[in-house]
Structure 1
């Protein structure tokens, strides 16, 4: 980007990006919105290429055609121009009933019908053959009707088509997971700025998008999003209750993932804390819930994790010693592929 530009970076999971949401500032939608501001939109011809499955971005291709005029004279009239010339202009036979000096155009329906220039694309057909509404349909059909509707499925919308053909999963509402790539950057005098990002700890495919604003050169946008595969070789995920009562026993579940091409061994550690104690599980998986055998200090488990997306689960049963407040439990894991740690907070009441 040019020095002094404002650059905005964002990303989406592929599972969410393929829905092609109408609020995404894509190149095709921006060009389409700019074309809609033209006073004579029928002078701009374009073809919209869309992927039915949403696997690629939309492409808006302009065509080299001035208007839908059937001859040279009508082409100029569609541009609201009156011709003053002694040149010979070829045109097809007209009824002669429409006065072009008053802004009238012929419908060409064989009935001698006329329409005003300001009636082009006003949503009402003033000609029997709908010549005044020719090629006025917008490429995108994303407008939702005003007011309430009884049947949301009856809405005609490109956005609804892509939303309803997929399952409603949490990827539709994941602003917290997207914080890692949401960045606003000012480009320095060198024309390049390095941004370091810490990706979200999941084995997923992301698409990065961005646009730049410059006071002199205007708007620039990345036409095709950049693919980023965030497959960490080794990471953990910790799950536990958000709230518990004092004196209760809870279990912290740890999921260890291995995306390397070899099997690994991982050492999972529960650090010592005065706020909880480790509950020992006796032979046969039995636990005395009223008087369990507990111990403090660090507790470690050496586990085996299969290769290529393998996962192993470990549960740490804990006896809560804290009377009330917020308890933080941290789990650490290390292997020959790397190390990771994750913490969760539990409210003790």
Structure 2
């Protein structure tokens, strides 16, 4: 049984590589003439790899770009300005491994009365062995799921992300997930949030599990924000396939001579991998749809565990309990919308609060 599970994990991971060569796209790239002038886009993990390529693409299309990155990358913003030819690029500091840092970012956005039209949740990690976040959670669980849950809760509560006015397009939340989520059987709620001490052999297992958390959350968020079927905030997800990025920068030294040539040969460059992200952010129909999953440039279903509405509802409840000491609720209307409460949703949409 253990060998079978391990083989399934390898197959799920390998599909991201193989599908790049054998899977024929059914969606066309978004033309360069499609513009985002006047729209505010926030991209996490935008200082390198795919996130940086996304930042350049959105800035080239005229977006007001907010690059949310860890500190220590002062040149990243200047690179994006130079590559895109846009000066409407700002850098914001956030460490998604620290929920207090997430709150600090949200405090700033609320204080500056920012409004975000397109939120791209790209940041990711893959440590070589188990590490703890600032609050003591397993690092991938914290960065891929918990931080995004807190970030979105706050942006909704503070009105930074809110349903479109009549003169504004539908806001979009775009999750960068992974086809590797299929390697995880299901979420074990009996050990939900508990720190898992793993080594190199089990790293892929916990990476897949963290992506299952994220996929399940994305689908549940879509259901709660759009309970009547009318898309008021479009919540969609995508896997860009295998990308030549720094995600595996913590790989052991003895594997790097094998990994890096393979990456250059088999993995797409960040620039080449940006197409499905651009589609989710810019394609007109994606603003009218929610709960869509793209793998490369094809639509497909997530795994059954990720699509399970009962698992999504339980994930929401369990994370509510887990994060009770970290959340800072805002307006009642916003909280009602995130909870799927219809009265709260109406208040949120009209800007009313109790």
Structure with a larger share of its residues in helix: 2
Q: Same fold per TM (> 0.5)?
A: no
Higher RCO, Cα 8 Å, sep 6+: 2
Normalised to the residue count of structure 2, the TM-score between the two structures is: 0.17
Q: What's the TM-score, normalizing by structure 1? A: 0.17
Query: Structure 1 or 2: larger strand share?
Result: 1
Bigger Rg, which one: 1
